[in-house]
Structure 1
Amino acid sequence: MAAIQVYALFPRQVQPDSQLYLEPFNWHWIYCLKFPLADLNSLQFSPRPFKWLRYATSVVVGARGNLSTSPDALNLVDYDAGLPSESISLYYHTDDDEKRRMFSADPGLVRTHITSSVSSIQRDHFRENVLRRDGSSCVLNGWGADLCEAVHLIAHSKDDAYIATYSKSHSREPAGDDIIESIDDVRNGLLLNRLVHPLLGKGFAFLMTPNFAMNTDDVDPTAPPLERRYTAQLFIDRPEREFILGNGKLRIFDGPQWPPAIIFDAVYAGAVLHHFGAPGVQDEIDKSWKSILYPWGVATPDPKIAVAQKKQKDAYERQACRDARSAPDVFDLLLALPYIGVPPDRLEDTIRNLKESAQAKEQARVHEKVNAWMEKTA
């Protein structure tokens, strides 16, 4: 299958504060990402696919750079070109400043389950704060809060220490305004409908433009180049794409409580790695950065604390299962869709008509069954 293969320079040892860190012998090319041309053609992330490839690679590698056709020289690709017809290999070059700040995306960021809605003081405050900021309706398609969830962009299970370490490592604001210390910070949340929540960070993410590699007209040619936009994109080709995404534009809250760029980048990187990660790249990233992001995974925890945490986790997951069984699923929402937003008086008429129709059908079925029985006994 024809594909674009992207190689990136990764450090053999992560020692950003050491002069040896930038020495050439500490860096080697890793097969990082594989983008099948058929997928890029069907998903249509951008009419300028090489610009999108540059951005997608940057959020995975954790450093800004350029795509080149050569590992030894910076032979830039034509960023305005369309997709090739045959397989090609590209090399992602970064300068020394970007190498110093490089911190790759976490392969473990991709959520494997929906965070439970089990009640807690912090969780309740998180939902209240998200609702207050986002106006009590889905920021993607405007559905009411009863059909939405206050979604953690970086999953709640990652906890405070993780998001603090991750945001500090990826921060690009001089004053550190994009650093988040609490997993339940409103800047780690969005109010999203229940259809897209399960896909977030795996089959669905928001592309923020302008970014260092793309302007907004690289996503929508009719848009002003510097218009601030968050475009919803599916990483799976689904026939209900338009239904799920609507017009694809996120409603933006313009203020300091809005999630910073690095959080949107983290979610986008998770989706890119999940769908386009090359074999072995996750192990390569883990080898370099896992001990920094998960220091508790190396240290030996207090056995009493570990037992208490396991009990809490088990109780949390049992509650999550109960919540999942009682909450409406995707198919419930699809069936309810025609009646969302219908005025109460019209909704009552509709329900009454449906009941009368159902009763008429049941009566016809009974009559047909009785007639058939009478014919047999006649």
Structure 2
Amino acid sequence: MLRRTVADTEQPHGAYHVAMGLFERELEAAELRKELRSLREGGRAVTVTGDAGSGKTALLAAVLGPEPTGLTGDASTTGPRVLRGLCDPLGTPRPLGPIRDLLGRRSTSDVTSDVEARLLELVGPEPTAVIIEDAQWIDAASVEALRFLVRRIERLPLLLVITYRDADVSLGHALLPLLGEIARSEHATQITLGPLSAEAVRAIVGDSGLDADRVHELTGGNPFFVTEIARHPGERLPPTVRDAVIASTFGLARDDIELLQLIAAAPDALDDRLLPHLHIDVPTLRRLESTGLLVRTRRGVAFRHELARLAIVEGTAAGTRRMHHAAILEAFVALGSSDHAVPRTTPSQPATRTPASVTRGWPLRTRRGRDRTPRRSPSSRWPWRGSSRRSRREPSCSSS
């Protein structure tokens, strides 16, 4: 597995948005270029993994170009043909969906007949890069066709690149047979795109006035989240981030969405011990984890990125949030817990119908009325902006 290099902090502010994913991706880009140069000596299979927004597509665009070059039969004069097949987030995967994309106009009959022979004919003697994107949504038939290519790849002038979100591929996933075939091959490379470092985040936010350390903490170093915050420094939650997070919940039943909002009410993590009391069972957890928003930690079930949790919280009605806080505290009471983290789940003012057994667990200040609640500082309204006191200590967020 490849390791990331330290980002070039001298890159000008704004360049990351133009070529998203290139901060701290130099080693990965060099590895892809090396695989391309060796195409005439034999084929290779490359898997590129990472979270949503980690820059997988941007990395491939930087090395192979943003557009396919061979769908209409035109060969690139500066490098191999580039063919792309996309996997779509459908309830039922499209049969041979990415394979149909690869064959394009070449297919004049039923794609399902002799698909392996058609793929071999497609590759031919010309150096070709085949990219299968978002393979976490692949169908079983496409997996079998690609396994056919992988078993013969050393004899083909083919660079097969598979991108997928590794967190979305668990036991029983349709992609696993293909990944197993690639793992057993001597002609394969794995590239993993991790989160950005705090230094890279400082380079991205530049002199925008944002607190780079806080941005790194809230985003977990996710390149997409960091970039969007840098583009919208005056907004509490960039609309592109909110829309991307909400889109991840598509397909969930209303009850599951409410449980996701319930988990978002716990800032650090929802203690595993509370799950039975909150009627969250294993099948429900698996459905929620399929969104890619959650991760299991030693503290319990948590959001992979704090910014994603904030997006879910902001999409929850205030009255519903109070009910969620009360439900979590009631679960702690039923558990007999005296966990010091419990107050962090409380609202600023108790709900009017909250049971007395729950309000006994709330801090004293929440029972004394709104006038005893501290006023929110600018850093709470815009959580990635430092307070004025911190700004005096650190005149520039890009300085260290």
Please give the range of the TM-score, normalised by the shorter of the 2 chains: under 0.3
TM-score (ref. length: structure 2)? 0.24
TM-score (ref. length: structure 1)? 0.25
